Structure 1
């Protein structure tokens, strides 16, 4: 099979590999769609950050690794202990794999597992390949093909809400004013969860004009940088992360926008230091909290999230073939971010 493998910074290679076979509790997926995330581009440009060079404690696997944590396809074969009725089903991959035994797993915080693995990112191969094998517990049935690469980002968005509802202890969120910084695949997924499922009052901003305009076309309430009022949002979610095009990191900028006693939820990844004045938080009791991936309990809530979605995710996708992933995927995502929202590899 054709697959892309990550070896090191600026070293990804298209290779022909043996077609994998599912073990007794696994399924073999013919990958049909895999999304290029900013996380993978960061790994390529400056990494590895998440991708592990040493053998992973849970899986034993290290680089070279097949990247991509946001993907899905059609089940082509199953292991001996998996029902054959699953063959032919369209599924998205739930990338998180935990040990199930550590103190975090026992608390239902598998995303903090001491040995957590993640398909396409940490200790497990991912979706930039014609085929992928995953445990039967790591699949989620999907009717609409365009949602295959958005299931993981939607879970990421749902996790931000789960953290906030746990901390705030509120029962209704219709009056919550929420600002999303970043209108990439994660930012738009986070916005759709908070707007369509949570029913909060959501605004979104992106420094890239193309993505800002696309968010508006999708029916989201966009706000330009100069129009964002300070101290006016209950929740600000940084879904932008590290971006060389930004003059100020979103996590620092976002502090200005939350109300006294409000919350900034950090989803975006930063691998370099950022500066802020702690007194800006202390004097107003503003809070910064982080949100990492998702916990397994949220998968049960995901069907209700999907039922409420109003965003046309299909309109965000630009497809490329796997054979062109380096030139039209990785290189383009590095230098032409203004020209797309979601590049999807069509296998």
Structure 2
């Protein structure tokens, strides 16, 4: 089968490798949609950061690794102990894989597992291939094809809400002001969760005009940087993370926008130091909390959350063929950011 494999910084290759076979408790997925995330672009430009060079403690897998944590397709075959009626079903991949034994797993914090693995990112192959094998526990049935690459970002959005609730007992957020920094696939997914599922008063900002326009088309309220007032939001969510074209880290910028006693939730990935003056937090009791991926609790919430969402994700998608992924996917995502929100590889 054809697959993209990550070897090191600036070293990715399209290769013909053996088609995997499902083992016990596994399913074989014919990948139909695989999303290119900013995290994968950062890995390519100057990584590896998350992608592990050494054998993973849970899976034994190291580079070369097939990237992509946001993908899905049609189940083509199943292994032993798996119901064969699943063959032909369309499913998204739930990329989180954990040990199930450490203190974090036992306490419902699977996203903090001591042996955390994640399809397409840490210790496991992902979706930039014609086929992918995953455990049957790591699939989620999806009716709408356009949701296949958004299930993981939606779960990330659900986790931001869960993290906030765990930190703040007064979590009645009806009409409270929330600002999302970053209108990429993750930012828009988070915005949809907080607007439609949580029922907060949501605004979104991005440094890219194209993404702001797309967010507006989806019915999200947008704010340009000059329109954002300091100390005016109960919650600011940094979904932008590290971006080479940004002049200031969103996590630092966001501190200015939260009210006294408010919360900044950090979702975006940063791999280099950022600086701020801690007293700006202390004197105003501003809080920074972080949200990592998702846990099994969010998977259980997912069906109800999806029913509430009023976003047409299809309008964000631009498709490229797997054979063209390096030039039309990775290179474009690095140098033509004003031309897309979600590049999806069609396998």
> Which bin holds the TM-score, normalised by the shorter protein?
over 0.9
Deviations 1:265-285 (A, max 9, x none): 000000001011101000000
For residues 247 and 135 of structure 1, what CA distance do their matches in structure 2 show? 42
* Alignment partner, residue 235 of structure 2: 235
Alpha-carbon deviation of 1:217? 1.0
Q: Does 1:291 align with 2:294?
A: no
* Alignment partner, residue 101 of structure 1: 101
* Alignment partner, residue 339 of structure 1: 339
Alpha-carbon deviation of 1:176? 1.6
* Alignment partner, residue 203 of structure 1: 203
* Alignment partner, residue 13 of structure 1: 13
Q: Does 1:327 align with 2:327?
A: yes
For residues 176 and 57 of structure 2, what CA distance do their matches in structure 1 show? 41
Alpha-carbon deviation of 1:175? 2.7
TM-score of the aligned structures, taking structure 2 as reference length: 0.99
* Alignment partner, residue 45 of structure 1: 45
Deviations 1:80-129 (A, max 9, x none): 10000100000000000000000110110010000010000000000000
Q: Report the 3-state secondary structure (helix = DSSP H, G, I; strand = E; otherwise coil) of the residue aligned with 2:34.
A: strand
Alpha-carbon deviation of 1:304? 0.6
Give the stretch that moved more between structures: 172-181 or 312-321: 172-181
Q: Report the 3-state secondary structure (helix = DSSP H, G, I; strand = E; otherwise coil) of the residue aligned with 1:248.
A: coil
TM-score of the aligned structures, taking structure 1 as reference length: 0.99
Alpha-carbon deviation of 1:346? 0.3
* Alignment partner, residue 314 of structure 1: 314
Deviations 1:245-302 (A, max 9, x none): 1111000000000000000000000000101110100000000000000011110100
Alpha-carbon deviation of 1:171? 5.0
* Alignment partner, residue 214 of structure 1: 214
Q: How does 1:1-347 map to 2 (within 5 A)?
A: 1-347=1-347
Deviations 1:144-185 (A, max 9, x none): 000000000000000000011121123521132100000000
Deviations 1:211-249 (A, max 9, x none): 011101110000110010100100000000001211110
Q: Report the 3-state secondary structure (helix = DSSP H, G, I; strand = E; otherwise coil) of the residue aligned with 2:133.
A: strand
For residues 335 and 170 of structure 1, what CA distance do their matches in structure 2 show? 43
Q: Report the 3-state secondary structure (helix = DSSP H, G, I; strand = E; otherwise coil) of the residue aligned with 2:118.
A: strand
State whether residues 164 and 171 of structure 2, in contact with CA within 8 Å, keep that contact through their aligned partners in structure 1.
no
Q: Report the 3-state secondary structure (helix = DSSP H, G, I; strand = E; otherwise coil) of the residue aligned with 2:132.
A: strand
Runs of 4+ in 1 over 6 A off after TM superposition: none
Q: Report the 3-state secondary structure (helix = DSSP H, G, I; strand = E; otherwise coil) of the residue aligned with 2:343.
A: strand
For residues 176 and 6 of structure 1, what CA distance do their matches in structure 2 show? 42
For residues 200 and 179 of structure 1, what CA distance do their matches in structure 2 show? 10
RMSD of the alignment, in Å?
A: 0.6
Q: Which runs of 5+ in 1 are unaligned?
A: none
| Count of aligned pairs | 347
Q: Report the 3-state secondary structure (helix = DSSP H, G, I; strand = E; otherwise coil) of the residue aligned with 1:251.
A: helix
State whether residues 319 and 346 of structure 2, in contact with CA within 8 Å, keep that contact through their aligned partners in structure 1.
yes
Q: Which runs of 5+ in 2 are unaligned?
A: none
State whether residues 52 and 122 of structure 2, in contact with CA within 8 Å, keep that contact through their aligned partners in structure 1.
yes
Deviations 1:183-220 (A, max 9, x none): 00000000000001000000000000100111011100
